[in-house]
A and B are shown apart, each in its own frame.
Chain A
Amino acid sequence: MKVVVIGGGWAGCAAALEAKKCGADVLLIERTDMLLGLGNVGGIMRNNGRYTAAQEMIELGGGDLFELADKCARHKNVEFPGHKHATLYDVIKMEPTVRRYLLEKNINIMFEARVVDVELDKNSIKGIYLYDGTFIEGDVFVETTGSTGPMGNCLRYGKGCSMCILRCPSYGPRISISKRAGVEDILGMRGDDSYGAMSGSCKLNKESLSDEIREKLERDGVYIVEVPKEDVNLEKLNMKVCQQYALKEFAENIVLLDTGHAKLMTSYYPLEKLRKIKGFENVRFEDPYSGGKANSIRYLSMAPRDNSMKVTGVDNLFVGGEKSGLFVGHTEAIVTGTLAGYNAVRWGLGLKTTTLPASLSVGDIISFENSMKENIEGLKKRYTFAGASYFERMKELNLYTTDDNIIEKRVKNLFIDGIFKERLL
C-alpha cells in the first residue's frame, strides 16, 4: 500500500514516519530543498501544556520526533513571560537530524517537487500531478501543505512578502490539494473580521547582537529587555498567529530566545527602532529577511476534517498540521500529522479509522478545535497546548501535568500505550 504525503513540514514528517512505522510504502513530497518548513525557524517545544502532549505521544509510541527534538536541544527548562519548562531546539541541527532519521527508515523523499493538481475518480484521489506534469499514483494521501502564504495572500492580508523560510518565489506557491479535490478551504479570521494571521516571531542574526547579549542568551536561553515606551505597539498583538505569545509582556519587552539564531518574539520590528536598543545597534534579521517590515500570513487554507483527520468530502485524503485546523506549533503539527499518517494506513487497509480519546490532551485538542471552528468566534482563536484558551482548558480539565508517571498511567489505563508503534501490515 502506498501512502503519499504532500508537504514535508513537521506534520508531513510525522505523517510519513507514522505511516512507515505502520508498514506502508511511503513517499514524502516536499516543495523546497529542506524538510520541516516553518520548523526551520521555530524551535520552542515542551512549554506549558506541550510538555504533557509530548509525553503523551511518547507513551502512545509516537514520540520519535519529540525525542529527536530533545536531542537537538540548546536549552532545557527555560522560562520566559507566560511560559514554563520550554525546550529550545537548535534550528540549525534539527532539519538534517530529521532528514537523516526519515531516510534511515527508508522513507522516499522527493525534494523541490511541487504538487499542483489531483486526478480524481469520483470522491477518491487516484494520483497527484507535480508542476512538470509528472503523475504519481497512490492508495491514500496525506496533505500537510500548511496554510501559510503564498505571496499574494501575504500581500493582501499582511504587509507583503517578507522573504521567509518558505521561499515561495524560488520554489513556487503552496497549493491547496483538498481544494483541487473539490473541497472548499476554511479560513482563519482575525479580531477585525479580516482573514489569516501573521506569524508571531522572527529570527535575528546572533552575531549582529552585542557580545553581552549573545553571551547571556547562550547561557540562559532567554534575554529580555524593555521596549522604549514610545515604540510599544500593542496593536501588533491582535494580528499574531501565536496567541500564546500575544501577551502584553511581549509588546512591552523584547524577548529573545536562543534557538541557534536569536528568536525575537514579535511578528516584525522596524529595524531602525530595533537598533535604538542597547546592544542591538548592529542588529539584522535572519528570517524573515524583511522582518523589519512584515511576516508571513497563515491560516488561509484549512480543510474540513473529522477527528480521525480524514478530509470531509474526499474518501482517501487525510490532513495534519495547520492544514487540519487552527493549530499553532511544532508539537501540534506532530500530533495531528502522526494521527493522520496512522489513520491513512488504517483506511488503506480497510480498517476503521480511529480517534484519540478526549481524556488525553492530544485527543481533546483535535476534537475541541474541530468543534470551535464551527462558528466565527472560534475561527478567530488559535489552539495550542502552550497557551491562550486551550491551555486554560487543559488546566480546567486537569489534563495539564508535567508528571511523567501520571501521563504514563493515563495512557496505559486507556490500553492504547504504544499504538503508534504497531505494525499494521
Chain B
Amino acid sequence: MFKYIDCIDAGSPYCPCELALKGECIICSQLHGKEFCDCLNWKGTCIYQEFIWNGYKSKKIREFKKFKIVKREYLREDILKLDIKVNKELSRDLNDIGAFVFLKNEKDAEAFSTPISILSSDIETDIITVVIKREGIKSKAIFECQDEILVKGPYFNGIQGQKYLKELKNNSCLILSRGVASAPTVLAAKKLKINKNEVYVLLDRGRSRENFSKPYFLSLGCIVEDVSFLNIDGEIKYEYKKEIEQLIKKWNFKTVLSAGSDDFHEKVINFIYKIDKYINFATVNNSTMCCGEGICGSCIIKGSNNEKIRSCKQQYNPKEVFLRGIN
C-alpha cells in the first residue's frame, strides 16, 4: 500500500522544529540520524538546508499570546462557544483545513493548555470561533475565562488525511459528523465548497435539539441531514448504513470525512471500505495533545506496522490506522 506520510509543519515558518534539532525529523533523513538524502515527502523546500541556514537551530517555537474574548455563548449547559479577537496573521493562518489552537486561562499553569479546533476564522474582523465541551479539568478551566484568554498557534493537524480533502475539485464529499467533533469539519466544508465540491453532511445532533454547526453548514450551501447514528450498543444503525450506501452509489463520493471519536472513525471506515475500497478518508484528529510540537509524546499512536506516529504533526492515511485486517 502507498505510504502516505507528511508533516503538517514541513516547509512552514515553524520548520525545522525541535524534532529536527534532536535528530527526530519526521520527513528529512539527514535530520533523522542518516547521512544521505532520502526524504519521505517533498513540499518544495529542503528541511536540511533550512536547518543549516538557520544556524543549525530550530525555528522559534509557538508561544501563548493574550487575546480578548468578544463573545461567550452557551450552546448547551456543557458546550461553550467563544469568539476571540486575534491578530491578522493568526486569523489568516487559522483559516485553513485542520486548523487548531491551544487555549489556556492566564492564571493556570502550562499543563492546562488544551487543543481546540477552529470552527471559523473571519479574516476581515480577525475573530476566530471555537466550541468547547466541558469534559475534564482543562476544558473546565477554559470555561472560567471571561474577558481574556491565552492562545497559542497556529496548528494545522486537526484533520488527518487532509490531502484527500485538498485534492478534491468539482467533486463530492460526504461528512459524517457527531457532537463537538463537527467544529473542524465546518472549516473543511468551507474549503471544499470553494473548490466547487458538493458537500453532503449527515449530522448527529447528539443530546441536543440540533447540532450547533448546522447553521454554518447550511450557510455554506451544504446539504445537511439530521441523524442519530448509533444504536444502544454503540453501532451505526442499520437505517443509516443503508442510507450511506445509497448516498455513495448516488453521489460517487471520492472522500469521506469522519468526525467523531476514534471508535466512530473505525466503524465508519471499516463499513464504507467494504462498500467501495477506493474511497479515501479524512478523520478528525482526536489524539490527546499537550504540547503540539511532537515533543511530549502524548499524541503518539501506532500505525499499521506498529510504527510510532506523532499525530500532532504527522499526517497519515486514516485507512492505515483505522482499517482492520488489511495491510
Contacts and interface: CB of A to CB of B under 8 A. Distances in A.
A165 to B, nearest CB: 17
Interface in B24-64: 28-30, 35-39, 42, 44-49, 52
B3 interface: yes
Interface string A371-392: 0000000000000000000000
A151 B46 contact: yes
Contact of B49 (A114, A117, A151): A151
Given A117-B3, A149-B37, A150-B37, A155 B42 contact: no
Given A152-B49, A155-B52, A300-B36, A169 B2 contact: no
Which of B4, B37, B44, B47 has the most C-beta atoms of chain A within 10 angstroms of its own C-beta?
A: B37
A149 to B, nearest CB: 7
Interface string A122-136: 000000010101010
Contact of A152 (B3, B4, B37, B44): B37
Contacts of B45: 169
Nearest to B31: A152
B37 A173 contact: yes
A134 B62 CA distance: 36
B46 A169 contact: yes
A313 B45 CA distance: 33
Contacts of A185: 36
B46 A168 contact: yes
A169 B45 CA distance: 6
Given A129-B2, A133-B4, A175 B46 contact: no
A179 interface: yes
Contacts of B52: 155, 160
Given A151-B48, A152-B49, A155-B46, A175 B38 contact: yes
A250 B28 CA distance: 37
Interface residues of B, number: 19
Interface in A294-325: 300-301
Nearest to B280: A133
A307 to B, nearest CB: 26
B2 A152 contact: no
A329 to B, nearest CB: 24
A176 interface: yes
A161 B46 contact: yes
Contact of B42 (A133, A173, A176, A301): A173
A153 B45 CA distance: 14
A253 B49 CA distance: 33
A216 interface: no
B292 to A, nearest CB: 26
A176 B38 contact: yes
**What class of interface size applies to chain A in its complex with B?**
20 to 34
Contacts of A129: 2
B42 A152 contact: no
Contacts of B46: 150-152, 155, 161, 168-169, 173
Contacts of B48: 151-152, 155-156
A297 to B, nearest CB: 10
A133 B49 contact: no
A153 B37 contact: yes
B38 A169 contact: no
A117 B35 CA distance: 20
A138 interface: no
Contacts of B44: 169-170
Interface string A181-195: 000010100000001
Given A117-B3, A129-B2, A152-B28, A173 B39 contact: yes
Given A117-B2, A149-B37, A151-B49, A131 B28 contact: no
Contacts of A149: 37
A172 interface: yes
A114 B44 CA distance: 13
Nearest to A172: B42
A133 B2 CA distance: 6
Contacts of B37: 149-153, 173, 300
B54 to A, nearest CB: 13
A161 B53 CA distance: 12
A114 B39 CA distance: 13
A185 B37 CA distance: 12
Interface in B1-21: 2-4
Contacts of A151: 37, 46, 48-49
Contacts of A114: 42
A58 to B, nearest CB: 38
Nearest to B34: A152
B2 A153 contact: no
Contacts of B49: 151-152, 155, 160-161
Interface in B71-111: none
B42 A131 contact: yes
Contacts of B38: 175-176, 179
Contacts of A195: 35-36
A169 B42 CA distance: 8
A93 B42 CA distance: 31
A175 B38 CA distance: 7
A156 B35 contact: yes
Contacts of B3: 117
A116 to B, nearest CB: 8
Nearest to A171: B42
B154 to A, nearest CB: 24
B36 A153 contact: yes
Contacts of A169: 44-46
Residue from B2, B3, B4 with most neighbouring chain A CB atoms (10 Å): B2
Interface string B156-169: 00000000000000
Given A150-B39, A150-B46, 12 more contacts: A129-B2, A133-B4, A151-B37, A151-B46, A151-B48, A151-B49, A152-B29, A152-B30, A153-B36, A156-B36, A176-B38, A187-B36
29 contacts: A114-B42, A117-B2, A129-B2, A133-B4, A135-B2, A150-B39, A151-B48, A151-B49, A152-B30, A152-B36, A152-B39, A152-B47, A153-B36, A153-B37, A156-B30, A156-B35, A156-B36, A156-B48, A160-B49, A161-B49, A169-B44, A169-B46, A170-B44, A173-B46, A187-B36, A195-B35, A195-B36, A300-B36, A301-B36
Nearest 9 interchain pairs by C-beta: A151-B46, A152-B48, A172-B42, A152-B37, A133-B2, A153-B37, A152-B30, A129-B2, A150-B37
